[in-house]
Amino acid sequence: MASKVLDPDNINENVKKCVYAVRGELYLRASELQKEGKKIIFTNVGNPHALGQKPLTFPRQVMALCQAPFLMDDPNVGLLFPPDAVARAKHYLSMTSGGVGAYSDSRGLPGVRQEVAEFIQKRDGYPSDPEHIFLTDGASKGVMMMLNALIRNEKDGVLVPIPQYPLYSASIALYGGILIPYYLNEESNWSLDFSDVRNQVVIARNKKIVPRALVFINPGNPTGQCLSVTNLQDLIKFCYKERLLLMADEVYQVNVYQDERPFVSAKKVLMDMGAPYSNTVELVSFHSVSKGFLGECGQRGGYFEMTNIHPQTVEELYKVASISLSPNVVGQIMMGLMVTPPRPFDISYPQYQAESKAIIESMRRRAHIMTDGFNKCEDVVCNFTEGAMYSFPRIKLSKAAMDAAAQAGKAADVFYCLKLLEATGISTVPGSGFGQKEGTLHLRTTILPLEQDMPGIMAKFQKFHADFMAQYSDYSVSSRL
Amino acid sequence: MASKVLDPDNINENVKKCVYAVRGELYLRASELQKEGKKIIFTNVGNPHALGQKPLTFPRQVMALCQAPFLMDDPNVGLLFPPDAVARAKHYLSMTSGGVGAYSDSRGLPGVRQEVAEFIQKRDGYPSDPEHIFLTDGASKGVMMMLNALIRNEKDGVLVPIPQYPLYSASIALYGGILIPYYLNEESNWSLDFSDVRNQVVIARNKKIVPRALVFINPGNPTGQCLSVTNLQDLIKFCYKERLLLMADEVYQVNVYQDERPFVSAKKVLMDMGAPYSNTVELVSFHSVSKGFLGECGQRGGYFEMTNIHPQTVEELYKVASISLSPNVVGQIMMGLMVTPPRPFDISYPQYQAESKAIIESMRRRAHIMTDGFNKCEDVVCNFTEGAMYSFPRIKLSKAAMDAAAQAGKAADVFYCLKLLEATGISTVPGSGFGQKEGTLHLRTTILPLEQDMPGIMAKFQKFHADFMAQYSDYSVSSRL
C-alpha cells in the first residue's frame, strides 16, 4: 500500500531531528503513572502553580475585571474588588481596541509595550524604545521567532551553553541550523569558560559552520548560576569581535538567591560599556511572566527587546508576527501587570509586596534545602542554585548501574531517573536532555515543590538513592559472586 | 563597516519572501492616520470586538472566575455571578493542574480536548478521539504547525484556493515550500473549478513540484462562499486519488447566511463516504474561538483534529508543540466554553441564546446590506457573502485610474484602497493580498461594523467610489484634452 503523505518517513526531517526532553520519555512515563493513580511530583518543568504556588491576588483581580468588564458597572463590584484593581483594569482595557477579545497589533498592545520600555529604563538606567519591544506568547515563542529569522541554512550555527535549556537545541534543529556547544564549568559553579567558547568557534569555522549568534541564560537553566558583570562584558566583547548576535535569556532575573551578584541585564552592561559596543553589538533580550514570583506560565506572556537590530529587520519580524495575527491579549496584560506592580500608595500594595516577597524568600530557602539535600547523598554533587528554579545535581553511578542501564537499553541517567520516578513519583529530567560533559551524569529538578513538602521529598530522594546505590553496588554480594 | 548579523540581507530568505497583506501597507497607513487623529474603520481583519461587538456574558463570567478563583470563596460571589458560571469555572479549573497560571499538556488540557471531541461527535455523528485533537493559540498556529511538518523542501507544494487567506501563502513561504494556486470561479459565486484543480496539479508536477496537500476554506475567506456536500466529496476523492493531505479550514462554520447549503464538515463527508476514503484520506480540520458569534480573537483559542494521520506523526507533532510548552490556558478554556454552551436547563441559557442569536442574525443582515451596497455601485460586482465575515467585491477601474496608479508606483487595487482609506477612513485589504485572476481587481472588507453604522459606511463607500470614478474617468474633460 502507498505510504501516507504524513508518514513519519515523509515529514520534514527537521521536525524529526528535534528533541525536547523536558516533555520527553520521563514526562510521558510520569503521565502514564498518574493516569494509573500514582501520585506524581512534577518537578520536570518550571511550573510553579502546578505545585501549589498561589497566584498573586492583585494581577488576578485585574485580569478577572478585564475578562468581565461589565462587573465594573455593577454597584456591588466594590464588595469583591479593590478600587485600584478596578482602575487598573480600566487602564488596560483602554489600551485595547475592544477588550481582551480583540486582536492587538501583532507586536502587542502599544500601551503595554510602553510599560515594558519604562520598566527596562527604570531597571537599567538607559532609554528603551517600545518600537523595539515585541510581546509574545511566552518567551519561548520569541526565541523561536528570532532563531527562525537568524538561521538561513544548515551551515548557520548558534552557540549555546551546555548544559542548556532544550528550547534552544530543539528550535535550532527545527529551523535547520547547527548548535555549537560551549561547555559551562561544573567545577567552578557552572561558570563561563571563555577558552572553550573561543575554541568552539574555531572548531565550528573549521567545519565550515558560520557562527551567527551566542545564547546565554542568566540566571542559568538548568544550572542555576548567576553571571557576573565581568562575564557579561566578556560575552559582549566576544560577540563584538566575532560579529555574533547576543541572545540574552533573562527570564529568571527576579529568581536570584545569593547577594554577591545581583542580576544585571545584558542591556545595561552593553550600554555601560559605551561605543563601539553599545552602538553596534546586536542584542535581543527575553523576559516572561512565567517565572519570577508570578509564575503565570499558563497565561503565556513574554517579550523581547531588540538593541542595535537593523530597522528593516525589525519590520521583517513584525511581518512574521502578523502571520499569526497577535499574541494572546491576556498574557500581554499580565506582562503589563508584572512590569508595573502596585505603587506604595496603592491599596493593594501591602498585600502584593507580602505575597511576592514570601514566594521569593521561600524559593531561596528551598534552593538551600534542595542543594543541601542532594549534597548529603553519597556520589551526588550539586552546585548551589544561585538563581532560576532548578537544581542540576551530578550523580556518580557504579559500573553495575551502568551495566543495568545498558542492558535495559537506556542511557544511564534516563535509567536512574525512571527508577526514581517509579519508586518515589518524583518526575525529573535526565541530564542528557540538556547536554552534559561526556562521562558525567545529571538530573534536573525544580525547586518548586511547596516548602513544607520539600523535606519529605528530599528524604524520599535520599532513601531512593541509597537503595539504588546498594542495589547496583559494584561490591554487592551478587556482583562479587 | 561590516554588516550586521541581522542585516536584512543576512536573514533567512524565507522570512523575507513571505507577504502578509492583512497587516500590510494599507494597515500600516491606517495605523498612521489613526495616530494622526483620523477615525479609522478597521475592516481589514475579522476582529469583531474591535468594531464594537460585545462579548457573550456567560463565557466571560466563567473566565473571570477562572482568573480569580478566590472570588468563589467570597460570600458575595452570588451578587455578581450566576451559579452556573461558578459551577462551570470549577469544572474547568478542575481540569487544570494549577489553574490558568499553570502550563497544560502541550496538546492542551485533556478535559477540554474531550469536550471538543464530544462537540465534533455530536456535530458529525461520528466518533472523535481527543488524542487526535490538539489545542492551539488560535487556528493560525495550528495551520503553521502542520505546514511546517508537511513541507520538507522547496519542491513540496500545497494547493491553495485563490483568492486565499494569506496565512497560507505566508506560512508556505516561511517554511520554504511552494504554493500551487487553484482558482475559484467568481462568475459562479466563487465555486470550486475542478478542472482547474486537476490542471494545476499537472502543471506543478511538470515543474517537478510535489503536491502534498490541498487547503480549502469553508465558508470561504475572503470569498464568503459555502461549499456543497458534492464539492467536498469531489475534494476528498481528488485527495484520495492524488494522495494529498486535506487541510480543512472550517473556522467560519457557524457564520452561514444562506439556508440551501448548511455547513457540513469535511470530517462528516469523509466518514459518510466510507472505505476506502474514510479510512485512508488524511484530513486535518481547524477551528477557532475567534469567529462564529464569540469573536474572541484576542483570547487565541483554536484546535485541530487529525483523521487518518499516522500515529507516529501525531507523536512528532506533540514533540514540536512541546517546544513552546503549552498553548495559553485561557484560550483553551474559551474553546471548552465554545463547544459546550449552557444547556437548556441552565440559568444562563436564555441569555446565551439571545446574545448569540442576535449576533448571527445581525451578521446575516449585514452580509446583505454590504453586498447590496457594493452592487449598487457602477463598475462594482460582489457575490453574496454566503458565509464567513467578508465581502470581496470586484472593482472595474478605468484606464485613467490604472494609469494614475502606475504613475504613483502602486498596484491599481492598492491605489484604490489607499484613496478609499484617505477619503473615508475605511481600512480594507487590496485583492492582490489574497491573489486574484489576472486582469481583475478586488478589495476585501469585513461585514463586521455595527449594524447601525453599516448604512453610513456603505453610503461613504458609494460616494467615494462615484467620486473616484468621476476623477479617473476615461471620458473626463482632462483625459479628452
- Tell me: the pLDDT tens digits for A55-106? 999 999 999 999 999 999 999 999 999 999 999 999 999 999 999 999 999 9
Encode pLDDT of B38-62 as tens digits. Answer: 999 989 889 999 999 999 999 999 9
Instruction: Assign B481 a pLDDT band (cuts: 50, 70, 90).
Output: very low
Taking the C-alpha atoms of residue A422 and residue A449, their distance in angstroms, rounded to an integer, is 18
Mean pLDDT, to the nearest integer, of A265-280? Answer: 97
C-alpha cell at B381: 460586482
**Statement: residue A481 has pLDDT above 50:** no
Please report, to the nearest 10 degrees, the dihedral formed by the alpha carbons of residues B133, B134, B137, B143 taken in order: -80
Map residue B282 onto helix, strand or coil: coil
Question: Among all residues of chain B, which has the CA nearest to that of A142?
Answer: B324
> CB-CB: which of B213, B294, B316 is closest to A16?
B316
pLDDT band at A474 (very low <50, low <70, confident <90, very high): confident
Cα A256–A165–A190 angle (5° rounding)? 55
* A323 contact residues in B (CB cutoff 8 A): 18, 20, 140, 144, 167, 170-171, 174
Search chain A and give the residue with CA nearest B74: A80
pLDDT at residue A286 is higher than 60: yes
> Residue ranges per domain, chain A?
8-52+358-473, 93-339
**pLDDT tens digit sequence for B422-462:** 999 999 999 999 999 999 999 999 999 999 999 999 999 99
What's the CATH code, domain B9-39+356-480?
A: 3.90.1150.10
What average pLDDT does this structure show over B341-347?
97
Q: With 70 as the cut, is the pLDDT of residue B1 above it?
A: no
Nearest to B294 by CA among B385, B356, B203, B348: B356
The closest CB to that of B319, out of A18, A80, A140, belongs to A18
Whether residue B159 has pLDDT greater than 70: yes
Nearest CA in chain B to A148: B12
Nearest Cβ partner of B101 from A10, A101, A298? Answer: A298
CA distances from B179 to A117, B10, B154, B173 (A): 39, 24, 10, 8
User: What mean pLDDT is predicted for residues B105-121?
Assistant: 97
Evaluate if residue A480 carries a pLDDT over 70. Answer: no
**Does B375 have pLDDT greater than 60?**
yes
In chain A, what residues touch B308 (CB-CB under 8 Å)?
4
**Mean per-residue pLDDT, B96-106:** 96
Q: What is the mean pLDDT of residues A395-423?
A: 96
What CATH number does the domain located at B93-339 have? 3.40.640.10
Using the predicted structure, report yes or no on whether residue A475 has a pLDDT greater than 90.
no
In the predicted model, is pLDDT for residue B374 greater than 80?
Answer: yes
State the smallest CA–CA distance between residue A147 and chain B in angstroms: 9
Query: Angle at the Cα of A349 (from A348 to A355), degrees rounded to 5?
Result: 90
Q: What is the DSSP letter of A260?
A: S
Name the band, by pLDDT with cuts 50, 70 and 90, for residue A479.
Answer: very low
pLDDT at B480 over 50: no
**Which three three-digit cell numbers place residue B12?**
533567512
Closest CA to B257 of B367, B383, B393: B367
How does the average pLDDT of chain B come out, rounded? Answer: 95
Residue B358 or B44, more confident? B358
> Average pLDDT, stretch B255-269?
97
> Percentage of chain B surpassing pLDDT 70?
98
- pLDDT beyond 50 at B7: yes
Indicate the SS3 state at residue B289. coil
Q: If you write DSSP's letter for every residue of A53-95 in order, what string do you get? A: PPPPHHHHHHHHHHH-GGGGGSTTHHHHS-HHHHHHHHHHHHH
Dihedral of the CA atoms A88, A90, A95, A101 (nearest 10)? 110
Quote helix, strand, coil % in chain A, to nearest 5: 50, 15, 35
Mean pLDDT calculated for residue range B65-74? 98
B140-159 mean pLDDT: 97
Domain A8-52+358-473 architecture = Alpha-Beta Complex (3.90)
Instruction: Provide the pLDDT for residue B46.
Output: 92
Q: What is the ipTM of this complex?
A: 0.96
Q: Which of B32, B322, B323 to mutate to test the interface with A (most CBs of A within 10 A)?
A: B323
**Of A80, A106, A300, Cβ closest to residue B23:** A106
pLDDT digits (tens, 9 = 90+) for A130-183: 999 999 999 999 999 999 999 999 999 999 999 999 999 999 999 999 999 999
- Chain B CA closest to residue A154: B12
Q: Which of B63, B68, B300 sits opposite A61 (nearest CB)?
A: B68
Query: How would you class A330 by CB atoms within 10 Å of its CB: exposed for 0-12, middle for 13-18, buried for 19 or more?
Result: buried
Distance from CA of B177 to the nearest CA of A (A): 11
Question: What is the residue-averaged pLDDT of chain A?
Answer: 95
With CA atoms as reference, report the closest residue to A108 among A342, A341, A317: A317
Q: What percent of chain A has pLDDT over 70?
A: 98
pLDDT reading at B15 higher than 80: yes
Report the pLDDT averaged over residues B305-320: 95
- Cβ-Cβ contacts under 8 Å, B330 against chain A: 298-299, 328, 330
